[in-house]
Amino acid sequence: LPTKDEIVQAIEQVGALKAPQLSGYQPCPGLLGPESYSGGFCIAFPFTNGKGRKAVRVWHQEIENIKQRYLYIAKDIRTIQSPYLCDVEFVSDGLDVNGTSIDLVIMDWIEGLPLKMYIQDILNNGKDEASIKIALQELANKLLAMFQHFHALGFSHGDLQHDNILVQNDGTLKVIDYD
């Protein structure tokens, strides 16, 4: 697979993106090129069309059977329509990197704070110990409801940790980074 730098350069090149689902979308600008978030296997790029955002995930490490896994994930997410999940679409040959077509995934971009940061905000901005305790209990109840929901569906995330659970402004939970 291409290097992270090669992927970033390709994202910036006009015409390198081959996903018609992103027609009218542009990568969000960052300090040194497109805004991006790099993980152990993927780089995620936020794209905008001026009204909304999409996440474009590109692999920089090989993962066995990833295409088949994401095709199943996308189908299952569309079928179950869980309030905790966002739409995901696997795109074969969606990005041209130095003449090589590579796959990508398009997801809804979810605005929110990672769980760890959300908890830190509760602790830092709580008016008193009682309000902190109430806010943490409300969060615990929401997490329990989400886990029970996934359990009832037979759904397993695969990498459920604080960076992959987002708390939106209205307090709802979403999970991201489906591997």
> 109-148, pLDDT tens digit by residue?
999 999 999 999 999 998 899 999 999 999 999 999 999 9
Q: What is the pLDDT of residue 114?
A: 97
pTM: 0.86
What are residue 167's phi and psi, to 5 degrees?
-110, 115
Q: Can you name the residues that pair with 171 across neighbouring β-strands?
A: none
pLDDT for 89 equals: 92
Q: Does the pLDDT value for residue 179 go beyond 80? A: no
pLDDT at residue 11 is higher than 90: yes
Average pLDDT, the chain: 92
Q: What are phi and psi of 130, to 5 degrees?
A: -65, -45
List beta partners, residue 57: 44, 105
C-beta atoms surrounding 40 within 10 Å: 9
Which of helix, strand or coil describes residue 162?
helix
- Residue 81's pLDDT is 80
Instruction: Say whether 129 sits in a helix, a strand or coil.
Output: helix
Alpha-carbon distance values, 43 to 29, 35, 56, 71 (Å): 15, 10, 8, 19
- What average pLDDT does range 16-30 have in this prediction? 93
User: In sequence order, what are the residues at sequence separation of 6 or more whose Cβ sits closer than 8 angstroms to the Cβ of residue 175?
Assistant: 84, 85, 146, 157, 160, 164, 165, 166
pLDDT tens, residue by residue, 59-116: 888 888 888 888 888 888 888 889 999 989 999 999 999 999 999 999 999 999 999 9
Q: In terms of DSSP bridges, do strands 113-114 and 100-108 run parallel, antiparallel, or are they unpaired?
A: unpaired
